[in-house]
Amino acid sequence: MILLDRVTKTYAGDKTPALDHVSLHIEPNEFVFLVGKSGAGKSTLIKMITKEETPDSGKIIIGGIDLDYVKRRYIPHYRRRLGVVFQDYKLLPGRTVYENVAFALEIAGMSNSEIEKTVPKVLDLVGLLDKAKKFPRHLSGGERQRVAIARSVARQPKILIADEPTGNLDELTKREIIDLLQRINDFGTTVLVTTHDSNIVNDLGKRVITLKDGQIVADQKVNGIYRLSGSADYNPEIIRETPHIVTNRELEHSTATNVSPRLAKQLEREEQLAQTPKRAVKSKTTRNTNRRSSTRVKEAISAEPTISPSFEKLPTRPELSNHAPRQTSSGIVVDANELAPAPTLKPTAKRFRGSRKVL
C-alpha cells in the first residue's frame, strides 16, 4: 500500500537531510503510528506521500502509483485517492458542516444527488448529523476535528493520513477521535497517524514507527509503545509487493467520480476515429496517429469510473517478460514491475490533418 525505498530529502540551506535513506512498507488495512521528536522528519515524510515535496533520491509507490511518473497536472487526481486530516482542521469558516463535507465531493465531480446521499451517511459516521447546519465557529475543537475527518473520508479513500489529529484536544476528546479513526480502519482504510501523545500510542498497541534525525530507528510491528530512542534489534524488513503501476491517463480517468461531459465527448470521438475504415483515412501519417489514439482510448476506458473509485481494484497490468523479482539497494525485494517506468501518455486533444473527423 505504502512503499518507500531509500528515500532521501535535503532542504536548501540544511546541512543534514530531513529524510536519510528511509525505507518502509505499510500493508493495506494497517493502523500505524509515526512518532518522533519535532524535526525528526515526520512532516517531511507525510509531504512525500501527498506529493507536496519531491525526494532527492529513492522511490515512493503509493497504492500502486509510482510517484516518479505522476506529472504535475495529474497530482490533484492522485490526491483524491488520499484522505488527509490536519491538526488545524482547515475548514471553510463561511460554510456549514454539511457544506464543508459536500464541497469536497463537489470538487471531486460528484453529482448533487450523490452528494445528498453521501454527506448524511458520513456525518452520521462521525456523530455530527445533528450539527449539519452549524458553522465551524459554533463547534468545539473535537467537533471541528470530526468534521475534518468526515470531509477526508467522504470519498472513501484507501489511505487516511492524520497529522497530529489530537494535538489541541482534551483527554476525553482525544479518545473519541482515536476511536473514530479505529472505526474507519475497521472498514478497510489504511490509517497513518503522526502524534506526540504517548498515552494513546501505548493504549492501542498498534504498529509504531519511530523517526529520529531523518532515519527510522525503530519499527514495532505488534503491541508497539511510544519510543523516541532506537531499537537495538531493528533491521530494515524484506518487502515483497507487486503493485500495478498506474499510468497518468488511468489516474485521471479512474479518479473522476463522474466523467466530465468534455472528457466523455473527447473519448467518444477518439473511439469513433479509431473505428474509421482505412479507406476513409487519406494519409499514412493519419493512420498511424489513429492507431496511437485508439491505444490510448482503450487504456483509458479499461478503468471504469465509479462513485467510490478508491475501493475499486486497479486495472491489471500485463506481467513484464524476462523480468524476475530482484533486490533493491536497501534490501527490499520487489518485482521488476514496480521499478519499471509507467508509460506516459501525451494529451489526446489533437487535430488530425487529412482526416474526415477531428477532435
Counting every residue written for the chain, the total comes to 359
- What secondary structure does DSSP assign to 74-123, as a single string? GHHHHHTTEEEE-TT----TTS-HHHHHHHHHHHTT--HHHHHHHHHHHH
More confident residue, 162 or 328: 162
pTM: 0.67
Task: Give the integer Cα–Cα distance in Å for 330 and 223.
Answer: 26
Instruction: Kindly report, residue by residue over 104-132, the tens digit of the pLDDT.
Output: 898 888 899 999 999 999 999 999 999 99
If you search the block for the grid coordinates 467510490, which residue do you land on? 308
Instruction: Kindly report, residue by residue over 67-93, the tens digit of the pLDDT.
Output: 998 988 899 889 888 999 987 888 999
How confident is residue 229, by pLDDT bands cut at 50, 70 and 90? confident
DSSP H helices in the chain: 42-49, 75-79, 97-107, 112-125, 141-153, 171-186, 198-204, 248-254, 261-274, 284-301, 336-339
With contact defined as beta carbons under 8 Å apart, do 305 and 114 qualify? no
Return the number of other C-beta atoms located less than 10 Å from residue 133's C-beta: 10
With contact defined as beta carbons under 8 Å apart, do 327 and 333 qualify? yes
Question: Nearest 5°: CA angle at 211, between 206 and 216?
Answer: 90
Residue range 2-220 forms a domain whose CATH class is alpha beta
pLDDT value, residue 133: 94
Q: Which of 101, 200, 198 is nearest to 144 (CA)?
A: 101
Listed by start position, the domains of the chain span: 2-220, 248-339
Return the number of other C-beta atoms located less than 10 Å from residue 30's C-beta: 17
- Take residue 238 and report the three cell numbers written for it: 524484506
What percentage of the chain reaches a pLDDT higher than 90?
45
Instruction: Give the distance, in angstroms, between the CA of residue 7 and the centroid of all CA atoms in the same chain.
Output: 17
Task: Give the integer Cα–Cα distance in Å for 337 and 133.
Answer: 49
Please state whether beta strands 2-9 and 31-35 pair in parallel, antiparallel, or not at all (unpaired): unpaired
- Take residue 180 and report the three cell numbers written for it: 473514530
- Take residue 166 and report the three cell numbers written for it: 489530537
pLDDT value, residue 80: 86
- Take residue 153 and report the three cell numbers written for it: 473520508
Q: What phi, psi does 223 have (nearest 5°)?
A: 50, 45
pLDDT value, residue 305: 37
DSSP-assigned letter for residue 229: S
Q: What phi, psi does 6 have (nearest 5°)?
A: 50, 55
Of 37-51, 167-181, 268-282, 335-349, which has the strongest mean pLDDT?
37-51
Q: State whether residue 202 is helix, strand or coil.
A: helix
- Take residue 35 and report the three cell numbers written for it: 512518532
CA distances for 281 relative to 218, 266, 294, 297, 350, angstroms: 63, 19, 14, 19, 16
Task: Give the integer Cα–Cα distance in Å for 274 and 298.
Answer: 10
Task: Give the integer Cα–Cα distance in Å for 222 and 116.
Answer: 40
pLDDT value, residue 108: 82
- Take residue 121 and report the three cell numbers written for it: 451517511
pLDDT value, residue 18: 94
Instruction: Kindly report, residue by residue over 285-319, the tens digit of the pLDDT.
Output: 445 555 554 454 444 434 433 333 333 333 333 33
With contact defined as beta carbons under 8 Å apart, do 255 and 318 qualify? no
